[in-house]
Structure 1
Amino acid sequence: MELNSKIYIAGHRGLVGSAILRALQKKGYRNLVYRTRAELDLRNKEEVDQFFATEEIEYVFLAAAKVGGIVANNDNPADFIRDNLLIQSHVIDAAYQAKVNKLLFLGSTCIYPRHAPQPLKEEYLLTGELESTNRAYAVAKIAGITMCQSYNKQFGTSFISAMPTNMYGPNDNFDLINSHVLPALIRKFHEAMINDESSVEVWGTGTPKREFLHSDDLAEACLFLMNHYEQDEIINIGVGDDISIRELAELVQKIVGYEGEIVFNTSAPDGTPRKLVDVTRINELGWTAQISLEDGIRSVYAAFRDEALIKQ
């Protein structure tokens, strides 16, 4: 990408898209295009086709998606598969029709089989049964990957697919029903401390292990891949290390400064037992994550606390 290349960031208000936008601006890219959902509904094919036909986009970061935690995925599977299939199908096809130079499709490590060996290598995709609590979302993302590969094969496009691990960072979703585990824990411990509550409930047994990647690290990886990766195969983005949910809860508790008890609700679902990605491929290309988990959580909590104070 040249600094004056016309670059479209789909989903620029979300956790991932906003980080990619910040990274591009920081590096001096000045011809950036983005639209709110009200301005461009990516679920509407006519709107998407018209947008690409008139804007002459050269590069696309496809970070727009319907996302959520275990509860949201489990309760609303039709919404997750419908919206994600529509968004990615419309954008990928319109990018082909408009002859964009390159597109980066962002999937998720939840696409890997529930019981795949650890760490998760890219070649484990489609080798086993998916995690039931987010099957609809995973199937949609797998369809997006296959669509990119199919367009590359049939039409000679340059559509690449990256699989980031669990993410957190600025502009995260802190809703206790629809959010992922880390922002939910930050909010739970903060509110428990403010309200002087004696305990905080954490879903599950605390034994599952998760890997967490700061969205600013992810954005740097996406820019790196757009400029240096041309392969048809998917590529993982992660830190190469994980932590149990119990250890994560204790770390958030320490950072927030909450002194009460942590109570694990063992009747609630755990989700996938472990989800650590193998980052050998991207590391060998020359990219590694830079932000430690503790430093990242401290910065995210500071911003959340400041925002909470403003709203009081």
Structure 2
Amino acid sequence: MVEKQAKIYVAGHHGMVGAAIWRSLEKKGYKRLIGSSSSELDLRNQQAVRDFFNAERPEVVIDAAARVGGILANNSYPYQFLMDNMLIQNNLIDSSLHAGVGKFIFLGSSCIYPKFAPQPLKEEYLLTSSLEPTNEWYALAKISGVKACEAIRKQFDKDFISLMPTNLYGPFDNFDLQTSHVLPAMIRKFHEAKLNGHADVVLWGSGTPMREFLHVDDMADAVIFAMEHTFEDNLYNVGSGVDLTIKELAELIQRTTGHQGKIVWDSSKPDGTPRKLMDVSKMAEKGWRYAISLDKGIKETYDWFLANVDRVKEVKI
């Protein structure tokens, strides 16, 4: 059990996921939270990270730091998505080991699983077949992080675990149309089309792929649940266990935003993985389940977007 006075370092606490974890930790009464912005600490710099750990001596580390993006960003910047993510996570994992961190939680992505793996995705499907080409660089980096934590558990008997979230969304998401994921990109597209006289909205692909989504506050709750409990295995999926087609998602967001124009599907653009549904039975067996429905979550996210439309996060690479 992690004490309320434990020193907890949330890497990436200014990002959507890290910020949600920080807020949830505060709500649950954890007092000694540590965070550092990218301008204060470059997590790609091994010596800087080592020095930070030696100075701060955290007892728990939650790795929510990563370079992230959608299909376009992954295809356009493969080297950065591979190398930056490996540098960030390797420095955090290795520094945590050498600093004697008691609990380390590594956050990955459902894209670590093979493109045509059986559905729903079970943890044991990792490394059984080839990856989805449009995001293999990011996936390979995350797989190496999972394996590093597994190796530490095996060799040093340390409580290092990996949580693989499904597609996350919510407040403080990235709404930049060049680098964002599908759900926030759709929110922005439908909103701007509504303002433009309910113009048509052009979306990538056929609309037939199926995806699962989880509100970032639910993800934060899962992270803290994992922090407060002892997990026997090294890898756990985190999701809702419920999916829908991209077309259904588009229609839901269209209704939420009030857009009344047409949806046009550009089938010349890639669809990505046909289906990506997580098997979340291992987390359910531990006693955790999601709480925020997709309808409610999208409504809350759109409300946040409207309140922050002049300063929505735009990632530059």
TM-score (ref. length: structure 2): 0.96
The aligned counterpart of 2:315 is: none
- 1:178 maps to 2:179: yes
* TM alignment of 1:1-312, pairs within 5 A: 1-308=2-309
CA distance in 1, matches of 2:248, 2:6: 44
**Counterpart residue type for residue 47 of structure 1:** A
Look up the equivalent residue of 1:228 and give its one-letter code: H
State the 1:56 CA deviation.
1.2
Q: Deviations over 1:14-35 (max 9, x none)?
A: 1110110010001110000000
Query: Structure 2: which amino acid aligns with 1:269?
Result: P
Structure 2 Cα separation of the partners of residues 149 and 22 of structure 1: 28
Aligned length in residues:
311
Instruction: Tell me the distance in 2 between the aligned counterparts of 1:307 and 1:66.
Output: 22
Write the distance in 1 (CA, Å) between the matches of 2:308 and 2:199: 24
Aligned AA for 1:174? F
Q: Deviation of residue 233 (structure 1)? A: 2.9
RMSD: 1.1
Measured in 2, the distance between the counterparts of 1:173 and 1:198 equals 23
For structure 2, which runs of at least 5 residues remain unmatched after alignment? 313-317
After the TM superposition, which of the residue ranges 141-150 and 193-202 deviates more from structure 2? Answer: 193-202
Distance 2:268 2:309 in 1: 31
Deviation track 1:50-81 (CA, whole Å, cap 9, x = no partner) reads 00011110000000001000000011110000
SS of the residue 1:193 aligns to? helix
Give me the TM-score of the superposition, normalised by structure 1: 0.98
1:163–1:236 contact (8 Å) kept in structure 2: yes
Q: 3-state DSSP class of the match of 1:211?
A: strand
Alpha-carbon distance change, 310 to 90 in structure 1, aligned in 2, over 3 angstroms = closer
Tell me the CA shift for residue 197 of structure 1.
Answer: 4.1
Tell me by how many angstroms 1:92 deviates.
0.3
Structure 1 unaligned blocks of 5 or more: none
CA distance in 1, matches of 2:211, 2:15: 21
| Alpha-carbon distance in 2 for matches of 1:107, 1:45 | 20
Q: Is the 8 A contact 1:159 1:232 kept in 2?
A: no
Alpha-carbon distance in 2 for matches of 1:310, 1:50: 34
2: CA distance, partners of 1:147 / 1:180 = 27
